[in-house]
């Protein structure tokens, strides 16, 4: 978990912008912006906007107008989880809102976690597929609230590069009779970090995939399918419910 701690400290480098929020301020009263994470950086469009962080509460920014009727400008705030909050700032004698509670930018938070666990040591064993002088498997399964993170590796011990054409996640029946139609429930990744496009010969790669939290019914498994572009080196990893139940809980971003 060493990398996780380091990446959380530097998580603001992995930014993801959110839609702009209209912010009305005045000279006589202070407007408070309350963020879900500590503030790392503040950028004002012009000096007409005064902004001050609260030492005792690093997630709060106090904003005020330095002059009346200034030209519309902007304000950008980067928080500790890697989010960028953008504001369009205008002057208003009597703003209707004095306190803004900003929501969590979930995409940025997930991105911070996937980057943080990318280089973690292996904690999950037994989920692998090996053939063609190659091997693929799951190094770790992590969970944070409603998101599960799968740390996946591919080792290419051969001389020929491996180009990934298809990466799928779906829930599949363990066994089925010939008369039973195939039923697959596709699981769309929320975010992927790392190289999952090409693995050069005599090389390896690790990537992390974030999926919406789910558990697997009896007699089914999560299939992680990787198929080669213009080739036949395909892999299938089978994740069972007992593997998900052993997922390591990630700490809060701070």
User: Averaged over 238-254, what is the pLDDT?
Assistant: 92
pTM of the model: 0.73
Reported as a pLDDT band with limits 50, 70 and 90, residue 245 is very high
Per-residue pLDDT of 59-72, as tens digits, reads 999 999 999 999 99
Mean pLDDT of 12-23: 57
According to DSSP, residue 13 is labeled: G
Q: What is the mean pLDDT of residues 219-244?
A: 95
Query: Helix 2-9 vs helix 106-116: angle between axes, to the nearest 10 degrees?
Result: 140
Q: What is the DSSP pairing of strand 83-91 with strand 16-17?
A: parallel
Q: Tell me, what DSSP letter sits at residue 11?
A: G
254 domain residue, yes or no: no
Residue 70: give its domain's CATH number: 2.60.40.1550
Beta bridge pairs of residue 42: 77
Q: Show which of 50, 81, 114 is a domain's final residue.
A: 114
Contact by Cβ (8 Å): 212, 244: no
- Apex 140 CA angle, 136 and 142, nearest 5: 140
Specify the number of domains making up the chain.
2
Average pLDDT score over residue span 151-158: 97
Confidence of residue 253 (pLDDT cuts 50, 70, 90): confident
Confidence at residue 181, expressed as pLDDT on a 0 to 100 scale? 54
Tell me whether residue 39 is in a domain.
yes
Share of the chain above pLDDT 70, in %: 89
Question: Looking at residue 186, which CATH number applies to its domain?
Answer: 2.60.40
Full domain range(s) for residue 60 = 2-114
- Give the tokens for residue 198: 């090409």
Tell whether 93 and 53 lie within a shared domain. Answer: yes
């Amino acid at each position: 978990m060493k990398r996780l701690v380091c990446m959380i400290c530097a998580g603001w480098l992995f930014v993801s912008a959110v839609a702009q929020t209209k912010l009305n301020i005045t000279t006589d009263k202070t407007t408070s912006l309350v963020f879900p994470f500590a503030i790392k950086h503040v950028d004002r469009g012009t000096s007409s906007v005064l902004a001050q962080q609260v030492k005792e509460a690093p997630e709060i920014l106090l904003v005020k107008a330095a002059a009346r009727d200034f030209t519309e400008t902007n304000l950008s705030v980067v928080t500790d989880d890697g989010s960028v909050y953008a504001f369009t700032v205008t002057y208003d004698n009597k703003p209707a809102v004095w306190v803004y509670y900003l929501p969590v930018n979930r995409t940025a938070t997930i991105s911070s976690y996937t980057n943080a666990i990318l280089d973690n040591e292996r904690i999950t064993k037994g989920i692998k597929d090996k053939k063609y002088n190659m091997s693929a498997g799951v190094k770790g399964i992590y969970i944070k609230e409603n998101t599960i993170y799968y740390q996946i590796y591919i080792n290419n011990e051969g001389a020929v590069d491996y180009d990934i054409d298809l990466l799928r996640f779906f829930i599949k029946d363990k066994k089925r009779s010939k008369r039973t139609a195939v039923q697959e429930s596709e699981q769309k990744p929320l975010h992927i970090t790392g190289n999952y496009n090409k693995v050069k010969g005599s090389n390896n790669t690790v990537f992390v995939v974030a999926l919406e939290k789910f558990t697997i019914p009896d007699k089914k498994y999560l299939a992680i399918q990787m198929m080669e572009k213009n080739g036949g080196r395909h892999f299938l990893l089978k994740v069972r419910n007992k593997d998900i139940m052993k997922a390591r809980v990630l700490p809060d971003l701070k």
